[in-house]
Structure formats: structure tokens, C-alpha cells
């Protein structure tokens, strides 16, 4: 299916179910964890779907694997290509490596080194671009033309959305009586997959999206009723800098209850809280849902809420709370 046709096809429940069977040999069925401390703190029963324990360290391996292993042999020979700030890049590289085909990736030069190293570790071939949507799309056009590889968009692709929907399918199977599910939103691939699955299998469950205040184009789009795209937002949640596209907007506009936002400090505090209390490694983007729950306790009070921790690919040499303290010390010194 050509790129234009792909962006016009709305994936179905059957697509998600087929995707789950296709990718099972290549993914983990990640655990659901709980924390009595966080339950008491938020007044909510929280069920954390831990995709930080997923293959390649992120949920995106689900969509990437579905796209790669769904290719016919002739198309697969030229390999796959994408543009990504990190997790989709390394997930597609992982899936391509499992199938034994090339993977070409355009990444911002500012992407975390840990993610660049992971891409190369899985055999991905990186071409760097400037940290803006316009730059990554322009550089990618050159790479795509040169290689002839199959474009697998990080989120505006029905194969990817169907794959991401398998996460919520597992969450429903692992928990009982959820009232809501919340996931981070950037381009909207995970949220769209969540909408696809829940609207069909559990239509009574509310779907919330969580976004950084400094990259809140999805929240503004939701309120305006049309896509508003920021070109180069700046946030610690590096996986949430990209804008919605046509396919993901379809799911967000039709099925999401609300999009909530959190500040940089709130995101970092939530990330540190999960590290300290749940003893699990997660990246800043994954902390945004808890940050918004803490900020909007009245919205979630008394409910059973599934929280999707989307990934754990963090640069351990640049933990955000250490950087924040350093910046604050510098500001204090300048004020003397």
C-alpha cells in the first residue's frame, strides 16, 4: 500500500487483532505494576502498564514490528526507513534486524545519545537532521529517494497504530474494571492505538492523553477542533515533540475524553517519584501521565486508571533532575 493510501486507511479492530498475533514472537507481554503509595497519594487506583520493559525499551516496538513483519518479500528487500527522535527509530531498527533487512533512520542531532547508540546497536543507519519537524521531513525525503526503502511513519500509519493498540488489549486482559486509561501524547500513535482498542472492546472506559505544557499542540488542537502543529517545541519529554497527523487526529478527535498538561518541573518530579517509589527506570515522556494525574486529582479520584509507561530509554548520564539542579544553582549564582 502506497504512503498516500496508508494515511487514508483507518485501522480496524481486526487489524489490531491480526497485529497482535503477528508480533507476539517479537515482543514482551509487559507486566502491570501497582504502588500503594501512589494510590494513596493520588486517591486513585493506578495500574501501570510497563512498556519500559518492552523489547527495545519502548512500546513502539509493537507498531514497528507489525509494519516490518507485514511487508511482502519484494518490498522488504529494499528495507525500511523512518524519521524519529528515538524510540520509533530504535524499535524499527530492532524489527528490521529481526527480519534481516536494512533500516534507515533520520534523527535530530539533539536526540539522546542513549537512543542513537541503541539504533546503531540494532543495525540502524542514522542520518542526522536539525531538531525541527520541517528539517526532519526534508532530510527524510532525501533518504527515502536515495534508498527506495519502505516508509514506516512513527505514528501516522495504520500498521503502526494497529500495533500500538495491542498494548491496551493486554492491559484489559491483565486488569479488571478500569474506569480510564491515560497515555502520553506527542504524535498520537499510542493514544490512537488505545482509542482503537478501547472504543471497540471497552467503550465505557474513558481515554485521557497527557502532554507537556511546553509542547501542548495536541491539547490546543483538541480545544480548537483542528490540528495545530508546533515546529520545534522544547521540553524534557523528548518523545512528545512531534505534532498530530491526519490518522491520529481522527482517533483523538473522536474518542479522547480530554488532554491534560503538566509543567517541566511537574514532569521531572513525577519521573523521580516513580524511580524512587516503584524502582523502575522510565524516561521523561513516560512520567507525563502521572504528572497530570497529580495535578488533576479531582478528575481521577476514586477511579481505577490504567497508566501506560511508554518507555525506559533514558540517558543515565543526563538525568533531568540533576540538570535542573545544575541550572538552578547557576541562576542562584548569577543573582548574587
pLDDT of 131 > 80? The answer is yes
pLDDT of residue 3: 63
Half-sphere exposure of 83 (CA within 13 A, CB side): 23
Sole residue written with cell 545544575: 326
pLDDT confidence band for 84 (50 / 70 / 90)? confident
pLDDT of residue 249: 97
pLDDT of 5 > 80? The answer is no
Burial of 230 (0-12, 13-18, 19+ CB in 10 A): middle
C-alpha cell at position 220: 490546543
pLDDT of residue 60: 95
Q: Which residue has the higher pLDDT, 330 or 53?
A: 53
pLDDT of residue 319: 81
pLDDT of residue 226: 97
Long-range own/partner contacts, residues 136-143 (CB < 8 A, 24 or more apart): 136/83, 136/106, 136/108, 137/83, 139/83, 139/106, 140/81, 140/82, 140/83, 140/106, 143/81, 143/104, 143/106
pLDDT of residue 171: 98
CA nearest neighbour of 236 among 188, 298, 282, 304: 282
pLDDT of 325 > 70? The answer is no
pLDDT confidence band for 112 (50 / 70 / 90)? confident
Least confident of 47-56, 163-172, 232-241, 244-253: 232-241
Burial of 150 (0-12, 13-18, 19+ CB in 10 A): buried
Distance CA 283, CA 70 (A): 29
**What percentage of the chain exceeds 70 in pLDDT?**
94
Three-class secondary structure of residue 47 per DSSP: strand
DSSP string computed for 124-171: -EEEEE-SSHHHHHHHHHHHHHHH-PEE--SSSSHHHHHHHHHHHHHH
pLDDT of residue 8: 83
CA nearest neighbour of 160 among 185, 188, 182, 184: 188
Distance CA 102, CA 114 (A): 21
Q: What is the pLDDT of residues 267-297, one digit of tens each?
A: 999 999 999 999 999 999 999 999 999 999 9
pLDDT confidence band for 16 (50 / 70 / 90)? very high
The chain-wide mean pLDDT, for the chain, equals 92
Q: Which residue has the higher pLDDT, 251 or 329?
A: 251
pLDDT of residue 326: 57
pLDDT confidence band for 115 (50 / 70 / 90)? confident
Report the length, in residues, of the chain.
336
CA angle 309, 79, 22 (to 5 degrees): 50
- Per-residue pLDDT, averaged over 123-147, amounts to 92
CB 173 within 8 A of CB 20: no
Least confident of 85-94, 100-109, 155-164, 276-285: 85-94
Angstrom distances, CA of residue 97 to CA of 76, 229, 312: 12, 33, 20
CB 247 within 8 A of CB 159: no
- Per-residue pLDDT, averaged over 146-166, amounts to 97
pLDDT of 266 > 80? The answer is yes
CA angle 268, 131, 55 (to 5 degrees): 60
pLDDT confidence band for 332 (50 / 70 / 90)? low
CA torsion angle 139 145 150 152 (round to 10): 20
Amino acid at each position: 500500500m502506497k504512503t498516500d493510501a496508508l494515511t487514508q486507511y483507518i485501522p480496524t479492530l481486526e487489524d489490531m487483532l491480526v497485529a497482535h498475533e503477528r508480533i507476539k514472537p517479537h515482543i514482551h507481554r509487559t507486566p502491570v505494576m501497582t504502588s500503594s503509595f501512589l494510590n494513596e497519594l493520588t486517591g486513585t487506583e493506578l495500574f501501570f502498564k510497563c512498556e519500559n520493559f518492552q523489547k527495545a525499551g519502548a512500546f513502539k516496538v509493537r507498531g514497528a514490528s507489525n509494519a516490518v513483519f507485514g511487508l511482502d518479500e519484494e518490498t522488504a528487500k529494499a528495507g525500511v526507513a523512518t524519521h524519529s527522535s528515538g524510540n520509533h527509530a530504535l524499535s524499527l531498527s530492532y524489527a528490521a534486524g529481526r527480519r534481516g533487512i536494512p533500516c534507515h533512520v533520520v534523527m535530530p542531532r539533539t536526540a539522546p545519545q542513549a537512543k542513537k547508540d541503541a539504533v546503531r546497536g540494532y543495525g540502524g543507519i542514522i542520518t542526522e537532521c536539525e531538531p525541527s519537524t520541517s528539517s526532519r521531513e526534508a532530510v527524510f525525503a532525501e533518504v527515502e529517494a536515495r534508498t527506495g526503502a519502505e516508509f514506516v511513519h512513527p505514528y501516522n500509519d495504520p500498521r503502526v497504530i494497529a500495533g500500538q493498540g495491542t498494548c491496551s488489549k493486554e492491559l484489559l486482559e491483565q486488569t479488571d474494571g478500569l474506569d480510564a486509561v491515560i497515555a502520553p501524547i506527542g504524535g498520537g500513535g499510542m493514544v490512537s492505538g488505545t482509542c482503537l482498542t478501547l472504543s471497540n472492546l471497552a467503550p465505557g472506559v474513558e481515554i485521557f492523553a497527557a502532554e507537556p505544557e511546553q509542547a501542548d499542540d495536541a491539547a490546543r488542537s483538541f480545544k480548537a477542533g483542528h490540528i495545530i502543529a508546533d515546529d520545534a517545541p522544547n521540553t524534557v519529554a523528548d518523545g512528545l515533540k512531534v505534532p498530530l497527523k491526519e490518522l491520529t487526529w481522527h482517533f483523538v478527535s473522536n474518542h479522547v475524553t480530554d488532554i491534560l498538561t503538566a509543567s517541566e518541573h511537574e514532569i521531572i518530579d513525577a519521573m523521580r517519584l516513580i524511580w524512587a517509589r516503584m524502582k523502575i527506570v522510565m524516561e521523561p515522556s513516560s512520567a507525563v501521565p502521572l504528572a497530570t494525574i497529580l495535578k488533576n486529582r479531582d478528575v481521577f479520584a476514586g477511579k481505577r486508571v490504567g497508566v501506560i509507561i511508554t518507555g525506559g530509554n533514558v540517558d543515565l548520564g543526563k538525568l533531568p533532575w540533576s540538570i535542573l539542579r545544575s541550572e538552578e544553582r547557576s541562576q542562584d549564582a548569577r543573582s548574587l
